[in-house]
Amino acid sequence: MKTFNVAIIGCGNVGGGAAKILLETAPELKKRTGGKEIRIKKIITLHPRRQAKKHGLPLELFCADKTAITRAQSDAFIKEILSAPDIDLVIETVGGSSNRLHALHKNILKSGKHLVTANKAILARHGRDIFEYAKAQNKSVGFEGAVCGAIPLIKVVRDSFTGDLIQSVAGIVNGTSNFILSRMNEKGSTFEDALKLAQKSGYAELDPTMDIDGTDAANKLKILIQLIYGVAATRQNFPVKGIEKISKEDFMVAKSLHSSIKLIAFAVKTDNKVWACVQPALISSKDYLYNVNGATNAVKIEAKYSGRHLFVGQGAGSVETGSAVVSDIVFIAKHGYIKNVSEPAGPAGGRLADFNNYPASYLLIIKTKDRPGVIGAVGTAIGDVGINIENIAQSVISGDDWFLPVEVSKCTAARLEKAVALIKKRKPRLISDYKYLPIFKA
Amino acid sequence: MKTFNVAIIGCGNVGGGAAKILLETAPELKKRTGGKEIRIKKIITLHPRRQAKKHGLPLELFCADKTAITRAQSDAFIKEILSAPDIDLVIETVGGSSNRLHALHKNILKSGKHLVTANKAILARHGRDIFEYAKAQNKSVGFEGAVCGAIPLIKVVRDSFTGDLIQSVAGIVNGTSNFILSRMNEKGSTFEDALKLAQKSGYAELDPTMDIDGTDAANKLKILIQLIYGVAATRQNFPVKGIEKISKEDFMVAKSLHSSIKLIAFAVKTDNKVWACVQPALISSKDYLYNVNGATNAVKIEAKYSGRHLFVGQGAGSVETGSAVVSDIVFIAKHGYIKNVSEPAGPAGGRLADFNNYPASYLLIIKTKDRPGVIGAVGTAIGDVGINIENIAQSVISGDDWFLPVEVSKCTAARLEKAVALIKKRKPRLISDYKYLPIFKA
């Protein structure tokens, strides 16, 4: 009986979940690998007893029977694993995107072990490099868990859309922000109240910055566009906006337009340009994404031949993301290294076009005081920069403030900024605040 | 420059669509195969000129520059292909499930060529046999297009859910019947009118039998349960009901319960039993499947660790299903034969449990004439066989007929039949017709 031995570095939510599944489903997994038993040889974590207890894992699988070990001790255990000839694969579920961790990834591969990780931050930053390094070592990198947790996006994009041309991807890829926005939509909550509830219910961390400012969604999208289009994102071409500034009044405006507001990770290829952004967008009630609420993730893919696809599932969670990690382990245990199978499909080297020049339909929301002539001033300025207005909907009134919603035809964000600048120049006190949301048509 | 040569047998919708994609996207596909050019060497069809024109394909790719060839000539061309050493893969898109076609599949593999097919009928019947035969020949069988067209279910089930245990599958997997039922739901049409519209709009064939009687959906489900659970379906354990008997009054009943009626292919594993059926079911407006209308397909998968997943896409169509076929060709061109990669994940040899003994919630609709005492008689009999009633909703009245909706707690279809028999015995003229629909809770 052959075994396939794995070690786990980092036993937080995802690592613990993967370990749990590996133990609980061992007989099933053995059938799926063609008879090889996947065995956990060692779990390295700074807090062995706590993590063992938390995930219901036998303490003897852990590096030490201790409450805590030092970083130096942890490093020594890692070194031990890397030099152990009987370990076939290492699962990195530490998290972070440090150069130190990137070096660890390389060391794992260099020591002749396959690598499985769910770490989106480091793959967004160093993905291309690590895939090339792995290829040179004839080792596989599994990263199904890195994008949208349990939704099998990576394998689908890599192996299933190869008979088609993906034209666009639009997804709700961050559960925390979607939970907050869903709450604001359903209950009319303020952002602050919805965030507090998310933290209380375990859907947001104490420091929720990366979730609500769009960074986490951007990391996932960066991995996807590398995979699909082979392009890298640069900061200035790839606008990343969060949800911190979305107000309950914005939701009142959205509701009056039979729509909701969702944080959307979006990429599209037109002619030979690839554009991408992460930002709150207006989603019509007729769109599949409209009904995706709470911590659920969903990704809509449009392809030239096969048309519209939707993938919905749990984008986070211990065993949820753990199941994606285990699917990678099973694939590698079954097949070993398959040349190019874990590589990005797209050609290397491209760059994103600047999204500020991408023509989209927008909803411009202008915060103002009620005063005569505002619609005239706004409408004239927008017309003067060459943008067509589709619809000026009824204003939402909140205290002294009026929120004027203006839907405009396809134009660039750059041009929209020009219109706002022109209004401000002509009527300096008219706009007390403004924002614009791309409108994704169903 | 290496080439990967393919031949296509059968150039209907799917074969023609696949050929079109292969020609139009050749430069892209070449990158995806790691530099191999996929080249169509020959397309065999009984009507070369017509099919070339229909799909916009160059006539010189076809077996003959003729309006029609005889079956004997077609057989000779097939023989030629099978003995041509430079053909790597054969695409069978003839359709049907004859023993003759099964023999052709084997001949393709025996002659050292990989096989790609989108033929659900033959895989439902001979799948296990052909997969084992292919394995013995070290050849791959691609069949992504056989189940739900463009939705990448096969690869997802085979490679992505391997880190989890699939508990149930519930899908809208037949576009024709879903188009008809959607129309009945939205417009209050009769079945006959909706079918006529489907035929007029190209969503139903002139002979729509296999689509509306559930056969096509059953074929797809048979492939899925082989793949997921390794079990074969026998006729008596696997009830297959169509949509022919669904009336506009049934939809009025469903609407009053904030629900719709969909033809659902359903399989579930409980303890060590696998159950499956195809039948019209009551779908709540809160369920993801409720909003899947028209010819779109959708499949909901529940897995132990990763929870609920939804996959939505185009279940039929020329280039839609063609794109799935091409994804198989790309995978095989890139990797050649990978042991076990195209095999069902489940162990062979199991059998379905009898669905008539599966405990489900049901909506029983009793057609009757308005008469006092009907609710008492129905309620008493249902209670007498030990079934709990959840709700008796308001009757729908249509002409002289009353349709009485009774929602019952989990019970078997066998027991429900007993209740109906008891009512009939006690009140022979009370029930003029009846049906029951399983209720799938969101």
pLDDT at B342 over 60: no
Contacts of A337 by beta carbon, 8 Å cutoff, 6+ apart = A114, A138, A139, A140
Given an 8 Å threshold on Cβ–Cβ distance, is A162 in contact with B335? no
By three-state DSSP, how is residue B400 classified? coil
What average pLDDT does the segment B190-205 reach? 93
Instruction: Give the pLDDT band of residue B88 (cuts 50, 70, 90).
Output: very high
pLDDT at B84 over 80: yes
Q: How far is A31 from chain B (nearest CA, A)?
A: 8
On average, the pLDDT of chain B sits at 93
Rounded-to-integer distance, Cα A90 and Cα A329, Å: 9
By three-state DSSP, how is residue A438 classified? strand
pLDDT at B340 over 70: no
Q: How far is A271 from chain B (nearest CA, A)?
A: 14
On average, the pLDDT of chain A sits at 93
Given an 8 Å threshold on Cβ–Cβ distance, is A156 in contact with B160? yes
Instruction: Give the pLDDT band of residue A342 (cuts 50, 70, 90).
Output: very low
Q: What is the dihedral of CA B171, B175, B177, B178, to 10 degrees?
A: 70
Please tell me the predicted confidence (pLDDT) of residue B346.
53
Q: By the 8 A CB rule, do A251 and A184 touch?
A: yes
Count how many residues are written for chain B: 442
Please tell me the predicted confidence (pLDDT) of residue B286.
84
Query: Pairing between strand B3-9 and A401-411?
Result: unpaired
Q: Which of B328, B21, B373 is nearest to B153 (CA)?
A: B328
Please tell me the predicted confidence (pLDDT) of residue A339.
72
Q: Which of B203, B219, B198, B205 is nearest to B96 (CA)?
A: B219
B364 pairs with which residues across the strands? B406, B436
Of B323, B328, B347, the CB nearest to A31: B347
Give residue-wise pLDDT tens across range B380-424.
999 999 999 999 999 999 999 999 999 999 999 999 999 999 999
Given an 8 Å threshold on Cβ–Cβ distance, is B21 in contact with A164? yes
Provide the chain A residues 324-353 that lie in CB contact (below 8 A) with chain B. 324-331, 334-335, 338-341, 345, 347
Q: By the 8 A CB rule, do B208 and B195 touch?
A: yes
Cα B30 vs. chain centroid, distance in angstroms? 32
Given an 8 Å threshold on Cβ–Cβ distance, is B309 in contact with A31? no
Catalytic position from the list A139, A220, A222, A262: A220
Which H or E element spans position B169? Answer: strand B166-172
Exposure string of B237-276, with b = 16+ CB inside 10 Å and e = fewer, is bbbbbbbbebbbbbbbbbeebebbbbbbbbbbbeeebbbb
Give the Cα-Cα-Cα angle A7, B303, B387 (nearest 5 degrees).
Answer: 145
Q: By the 8 A CB rule, do A77 and A42 touch?
A: yes
Nearest-10 crossing angle of helices A120-136, A99-110: 30
Rounded-to-integer distance, Cα B268 and Cα A60, Å: 36
Contacts of B285 by beta carbon, 8 Å cutoff, 6+ apart = B258, B259, B260
Which chain A residue shows the shortest CA-CA distance from B308? Answer: A313
In degrees and rounded to multiples of 5, residue B85 shows phi and psi of: -70, -20
Q: What is the dihedral of CA B232, A330, A169, A183, to 10 degrees?
A: 90
In degrees and rounded to multiples of 5, residue B425 shows phi and psi of: -70, -45
Of B32, B306, B312, the CB nearest to A320: B306
Contacts of A311 in chain B (CB under 8 A): 309-312
By three-state DSSP, how is residue A386 classified? coil
Cα B357 vs. chain centroid, distance in angstroms? 23
Which H or E element spans position B95? Answer: none
> Is position A220 annotated as part of the catalytic site?
yes
Written as one letter, the residue type at A205 is E
pLDDT at B345 over 60: no
Q: By the 8 A CB rule, do A404 and A392 touch?
A: yes
Rounded-to-integer distance, Cα A165 and Cα B29, Å: 10
Instruction: Give the pLDDT band of residue A346 (cuts 50, 70, 90).
Output: low
B439-to-A226, A383, B37 alpha-carbon distances in Å: 43, 54, 50
Please tell me the predicted confidence (pLDDT) of residue A340.
62
B248: its two tokens: 């506009």
Written as one letter, the residue type at B229 is Y
Q: How far is A220 from chain B (nearest CA, A)?
A: 18
Residues of B forming the active site: 220
Q: Which of B104, B136, B134, B107 is nearest to B119 (CA)?
A: B104
What average pLDDT does the segment B246-265 reach? 97
pLDDT at B158 over 60: yes
Rounded-to-integer distance, Cα A175 and Cα A181, Å: 10
* Helical segments of B149-307, H only: 153-155, 175-187, 191-200, 209-212, 215-229, 248-256
Given an 8 Å threshold on Cβ–Cβ distance, is B288 in contact with A312? yes
Give residue-wise pLDDT tens across range A145-159.
999 999 999 999 988
Give me Rg for the CA atoms of chain A: 24
By three-state DSSP, how is residue B245 classified? coil
Give the Cα-Cα-Cα angle B362, B365, B370 (nearest 5 degrees).
Answer: 150
Please tell me the predicted confidence (pLDDT) of residue B302.
97
Task: A421-430: list long-range contacts, CB under 8 Å, 24+ apart.
Answer: A422/A381, A422/A384, A422/A385, A423/A366, A423/A377, A423/A378, A423/A381, A426/A377, A426/A381, A427/A377, A430/A366, A430/A368, A430/A371, A430/A374, A430/A377, A430/A378
pLDDT at B173 over 60: yes
Name the DSSP class of A62: B
Please tell me the predicted confidence (pLDDT) of residue A315.
92
What average pLDDT does the segment B205-220 reach? 94
* Helical segments of A353-407, H only: 374-384
pLDDT at A442 over 60: no
Q: Which of B139, B400, B179 is nearest to B296 (CA)?
A: B179
In degrees and rounded to multiples of 5, residue A260 shows phi and psi of: -130, 175
Question: pTM of the prediction?
Answer: 0.95
Which H or E element spans position A315? Answer: none
- Give me the domains of chain B, ranges plus CATH numbers: 3-150+318-345 (3.40.50.720), 154-313 (3.30.360.10), 359-440 (3.30.70.260)
Is A14 part of the contact surface with chain B (CB cutoff 8 Å)? no
ipTM of the predicted structure? 0.95
Rounded-to-integer distance, Cα B150 and Cα A308, Å: 9
B168-to-A255, A316, B308, B440 alpha-carbon distances in Å: 36, 21, 10, 11
Q: Which of A338, A342, A312, A336 is nearest to A144 (CA)?
A: A342
pLDDT at A107 over 90: yes
pLDDT at A160 over 90: yes
Please tell me the predicted confidence (pLDDT) of residue B204.
87
Of B164, B313, B327, the CB nearest to A308: B313
pLDDT at A121 over 50: yes
DSSP state string for B296-322? EEEEEEEETTTEEEEEEEE-S-HHHHH
Q: By the 8 A CB rule, do B300 and B266 touch?
A: no
A249-to-A39, A137, A367, B107 alpha-carbon distances in Å: 54, 55, 10, 67
A347: its two tokens: 């050609």
Q: From the CB of residue B375, how many other CB atoms can be counted at a distance below 10 Å?
A: 15
Please tell me the predicted confidence (pLDDT) of residue B205.
85
A275 pairs with which residues across the strands? A268
Give residue-wise pLDDT tens across range B67-79.
999 999 999 999 9
**Could you tell me the sign of the dihedral formed by the alpha carbons of B150, B155, B158, B159, in that order?**
negative
pLDDT at A345 over 70: no
What average pLDDT does the segment A277-300 reach? 93
A389 pairs with which residues across the strands? A408
By three-state DSSP, how is residue B278 classified? strand
Instruction: Give the pLDDT band of residue B350 (cuts 50, 70, 90).
Output: confident
Rounded-to-integer distance, Cα A320 and Cα A310, Å: 19
Contacts of B165 in chain A (CB under 8 A): 25, 28
Please tell me the predicted confidence (pLDDT) of residue B420.
97
Name the DSSP class of A156: I
Of B150, B160, B338, the CB nearest to A152: B160
A2-to-A5, A39, A329, B264, B346 alpha-carbon distances in Å: 10, 10, 15, 42, 20
Of the listed ranges A298-307, A316-325, B231-240, B422-431, the one predicted with least confidence: B231-240
